[in-house]
């Protein structure tokens, strides 16, 4: 009887090990899919920002203000309104 309990326990342990390994593989696959999706979206956002920046530069060139300073003062620098 002792041998049967040991065999059942070994089979139960093997089943649990296989279940946990399968679960971890599924989780890894899902995390990889999510990671790939996030990276793709970040790349798309970067491309859109580049396109927007190019459009702004083209508009500035068309308006003839390329090279002129931005009308909004940079943050952190106090403006001189005393003049």
More confident residue, 1 or 53: 53
More confident residue, 10 or 49: 49
- pLDDT recorded at residue 64: 85
d(C-alpha 53, C-alpha 46), whole Å: 10
In the predicted structure, residue 37 carries a pLDDT above the cut 70: yes
Residue 83's pLDDT band, with cuts at 50, 70 and 90, is: very low
The overall average pLDDT reported for the chain is 84
What is the pTM assigned to this prediction?
Answer: 0.56
Interacting residues of 73 by C-beta distance below 8 A, sequence separation 6+: 79
Domain ranges of the chain: 33-62
């Amino acid at each position: 009887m002792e041998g049967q309990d040991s065999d059942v326990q070994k089979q139960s342990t093997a089943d649990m090990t296989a279940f946990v390994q399968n679960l971890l593989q599924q989780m890894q696959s899902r995390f990889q899919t999510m990671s790939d999706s996030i990276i793709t979206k970040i790349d798309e956002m970067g491309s859109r920002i580049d396109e927007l920046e190019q459009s702004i530069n083209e508009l500035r060139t068309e308006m003839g203000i390329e090279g002129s300073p931005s009308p909004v003062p940079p943050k952190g620098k106090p403006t001189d309104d005393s003049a």
